[in-house]
Chains A and B, each alone.
Chain A
Amino acid sequence: MLFAPKFLPLLVDSQMHIPDGFLSVLVSVVCWGLTVLGVGVALWRTGQELDERKIPLMGVLGATIFAGQMLNFSVAGGTSGHLMGAAIAAILLGPWPAVLVMTSVVSIQALLFQDGGLLVLGANVFNMAIVGVFVAYGVYQTILTLTRNKPWGTFVGGFVAAWTSIVIASLVVALQLALSGTSPANISVPAMGLIHMVIGAGEGLITIGALAFLYATRRDLLGLAPAGPSRASNRAVWIGGLIIALALAVLSPLASIHPDGLEWVAEEQGFLNTAQDAPYEIIPDYVFPGLPDERVATILAGIVGALIVFGTALGVAYLRHRRQPDTAYEA
Chain B
Amino acid sequence: MHYHFLDPYRPAKSVLHTLDPRVKLVLTVAFILAVALAPTAAWPLYTLLLALAVAAAVAAELGVTYALKRALLALPFALAALPSLFTLPGARLFSLQIGQWVLTATEPGLQRVLSVVLKSWISMQAAVLLTATTEFPDLLVAMRAIGVPRLLVAIFGLMWRYLFVLVDEAIRLIRARDARSGSPMGQGGRTVWWRARVTGGMAGNLFLRGYERSERIYAAMAARGYDGEVRTFPQPPLNIGQIIVLIGGLISLGALTLLGIWFW
The answer to whether A60 and B204 touch (CB under 8 A), given A21-B35, A182-B116, A279-B89, is no
Partner of A282, one of B39, B89, B119: B89
- From A74, which residue of chain B is reached at the shortest CB distance? B187
Partner of B77, one of A15, A50, A81, A281: A15
Is B210 interfacial (CB 8 A cutoff)?
yes
B161 to chain A, nearest CB (A): 7
Is A147 interfacial (CB 8 A cutoff)?
no
Q: Is the CB of B157 within 8 A of A283?
A: no
Complex CA gap A83/B201 in Å reads 12
Complex CA gap A271/B221 in Å reads 50
What is the number of residues of chain A that contact chain B, defined by CB distance less than 8 Å? 107
Interface string of B21-58 (1 = CB under 8 A from A): 00000001100110111011000000000000000000
Q: What interface size band does chain B fall in?
A: 35 or more
Complex CA gap A103/B148 in Å reads 12
B83 cross-chain contacts in A, Cβ below 8 A: 183-184, 187-188, 191
Q: Is the CB of B77 within 8 A of A43?
A: no
Is A228 interfacial (CB 8 A cutoff)?
no
Complex CA gap A71/B200 in Å reads 9
The answer to whether A20 and B116 touch (CB under 8 A), given A83-B203, A273-B39, is no
Complex CA gap A226/B204 in Å reads 20
Q: Is the CB of A56 within 8 A of B217?
A: yes
Complex CA gap A117/B33 in Å reads 11
The answer to whether A114 and B210 touch (CB under 8 A), given A66-B159, A108-B163, A182-B80, is no
Is B144 interfacial (CB 8 A cutoff)?
no
Interface string of B75-118 (1 = CB under 8 A from A): 01101111110111110000000001111101010001000111
Is B131 interfacial (CB 8 A cutoff)?
yes
A46 cross-chain contacts in B, Cβ below 8 A: 151
A214 cross-chain contacts in B, Cβ below 8 A: 204, 207-208
Q: Which residues of B contact A (CB under 8 A)?
A: 3, 5-8, 28-29, 32-33, 35-37, 39-40, 69-71, 73-74, 76-77, 79-84, 86-90, 100-104, 106, 108, 112, 116-124, 127-128, 131, 136, 139, 149, 151-152, 154-163, 165-167, 169-171, 173-174, 185-187, 192-193, 195-211, 213-215, 217-218, 221, 226-228, 230
Task: Show 9 A/B contacts (Cβ-Cβ < 8 Å), sorted by A.
Answer: A25-B37, A63-B163, A64-B166, A66-B159, A184-B87, A187-B87, A212-B204, A221-B208, A282-B87
In the complex, the 4 A-B pairs of residues with the closest C-beta atoms, listed nearest first: A209-B200, A59-B158, A213-B204, A21-B120
- 8 more contacts with CB within 8 A, not counting A19-B77, A117-B32, are A43-B152, A66-B167, A67-B167, A74-B186, A114-B73, A212-B200, A286-B103, A287-B101
Q: Which residues of A contact B (CB under 8 A)?
A: 1, 3-5, 7-8, 12-13, 15, 17-25, 28, 39-40, 43, 46-47, 50, 52-53, 55-64, 66-68, 70-76, 81-83, 88, 92, 100-101, 103-105, 107-108, 110-115, 117-119, 177, 181-184, 187-188, 191-192, 202, 205-214, 217-218, 221, 273-274, 276-279, 281-287, 289, 316, 320
